[in-house]
Structure 1
């Protein structure tokens, strides 16, 4: 049976610029996510995203490469900074 990506949480939070949390947190994408909103981050399965902020609605703010945006937290799993560094090298 094929694995389906989970349903994304609603609604997308209002974009805001905030200082990143001093403690680095990373996650790995479990599924592809293609955003249709300019404030959101698109990614592919296995991409490593630097998490900046988390909102209780299920949307997280993060950086992937040169892009920053909101993404659904139920599409990712938290990984250690060491694992993130190993995957990005």
Structure 2
């Protein structure tokens, strides 16, 4: 749900459009082309998206597979409250 906002914002950036952080509702209602959808799917490979449990499991798997010793987690969100909630 919240990742939809990031997806659209990155799409705008890639299209050289003005950066604007839109709400998830706006992003979900945006009229995406097939090319947009493919671009978003490709962008998603660069991010960990999911519940805290899912992200933690992925980080553990990356640690086992790649021997990482540090991870930095940042949330890009449409609102300050949503960002705070993501860290709780």
TM over 0.5: no
TM, length-normalised to structure 2: 0.22
| Structure whose residues are more often helix by fraction | 2
| Structure whose residues are more often strand by fraction | 1
Q: State which structure, 1 or 2, has the greater radius of gyration over its C-alpha atoms.
A: 2
TM, length-normalised to structure 1: 0.22
